[in-house]
């Protein structure tokens, strides 16, 4: 899922202070799972903004609503009745949600309330781990299902760098060395032989380096 974090109120206010009516739009999917932009967080942000404005003796109209998914038009359409009454939409979706709102409501300013961080997993409540960069050519089968593109700070393909110590990355001691994880996992599986082979330079053209990507599935079109 996509992991995101709420921006600080002063940063949000800098972007929305010029408007007098604000529609706060949450998203009840990925960003709800990471407790950044779901129903609860949307309500809380609206309340926090009201309080913040009240302190400055300001009283903009602030309405909050939450979509099941902010990146799908069918869901976005469901707030069509609320949109005309507000000058701006403050989105608690990921970057894709923000842009989807902007595409559907072309005459409305859309402001992000979240910083979109990464594709990750929920390790436990309150802990989210980045483990996919969406490079477009999944190599996990080769590396024991631990991604060197994401989990190694240097994206190394042919083994650990010289900075790994006690299974920790040179970048920060709280980062586990991705290569230590790969080697241990393949060792457990008895598949260390996978690593003897030289991995040639990666084809990054399937990643963002090839420009914005688009998937078209004719069989899925209506």
Provide the binding-site residues for other proteins, judged by CB under 8 A: 153-167, 170-172, 177, 179-180, 183-184, 195-196, 198-202, 204
Partners of 118 in the beta sheet?
3
Q: Which residue, 172 or 217, is less far from other proteins as judged by CB?
A: 172
Q: List the end-to-end C-alpha distance of the chain, in Å, as a whole number.
A: 26
Two structure tokens written together for 4: 């995101």
Nearer to other proteins, 102 or 202 (CB): 202
Least distance in Å: CB of 149 to other proteins?
10
Q: Cα separation of 103 and 62, whole Å?
A: 22
Reading the block at residue 168, the tokens are 């920790």
Nearer to other proteins, 112 or 160 (CB): 160
CB atoms within 10 A of CB 7: 19
Task: Look at strands 127-132 and 2-6 and give their pairing.
Answer: unpaired
Tell me the two tokens of residue 92: 């608690």
Distance in Å, CB of 96 to other proteins, minimum: 22
Asked whether 73 and 97 are in contact (CB, 8 A), the reply is no
Placement of tokens 């109209």 in the chain:
61
Q: Write down the least CB distance from residue 194 to other proteins, Å.
A: 12
Cβ(108)–Cβ(88) below 8 Å: yes
Q: Using the minimum distance from each CB to other proteins, give the nearer residue, 171 or 189.
A: 171
For other proteins, give the closer residue by CB, 72 or 161.
Answer: 161
State the minimum distance, in angstroms, from the CB of residue 115 to other proteins: 16
In the complex, least distance from residue 183 CB atom to other proteins, rounded to whole angstroms: 6
- Provide, rounded to whole angstroms, the least separation between the CB of residue 99 and other proteins: 22
User: How does DSSP assign 63-119, residue by residue?
Assistant: EEEEES-TTSHHHHGGGTTTGGG-SEEEE-S-HHHHHHHHHHSTTS-EEE-EEEEEE
Decide whether 11 or 73 has the Cβ nearer to other proteins. Answer: 11
């Amino acid at each position: 899922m996509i992991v995101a974090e709420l921006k600080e109120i002063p940063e949000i206010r800098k972007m929305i202070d010029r408007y007098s009516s604000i529609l706060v739009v949450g998203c009840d999917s990925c960003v709800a799972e990471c407790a950044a932009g779901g129903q609860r967080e949307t309500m809380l942000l609206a309340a926090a903004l009201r309080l913040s404005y009240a302190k400055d003796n300001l009283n903009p109209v602030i309405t909050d609503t939450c979509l099941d998914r902010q990146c799908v038009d069918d869901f976005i359409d469901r707030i069509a009745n609320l949109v005309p009454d507000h000058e701006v939409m403050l989105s608690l979706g990921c970057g894709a949600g923000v842009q989807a709102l902007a595409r559907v409501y072309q005459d409305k300013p859309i402001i992000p309330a979240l910083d979109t961080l990464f594709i990750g997993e929920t390790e436990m409540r309150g802990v989210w781990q980045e483990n996919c960069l969406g490079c477009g050519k999944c190599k996990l089968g080769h590396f024991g299902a631990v991604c060197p593109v994401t989990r190694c700070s240097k994206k190394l393909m042919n083994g650990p760098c010289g900075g790994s110590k006690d299974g920790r990355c040179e970048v920060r001691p709280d980062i586990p060395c991705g290569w230590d994880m790969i080697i241990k996992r393949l060792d457990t599986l008895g598949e260390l032989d996978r690593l003897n082979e030289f991995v040639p330079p990666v084809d990054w053209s399937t990643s963002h380096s090839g420009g914005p990507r688009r998937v078209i599935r004719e069989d899925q079109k209506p």
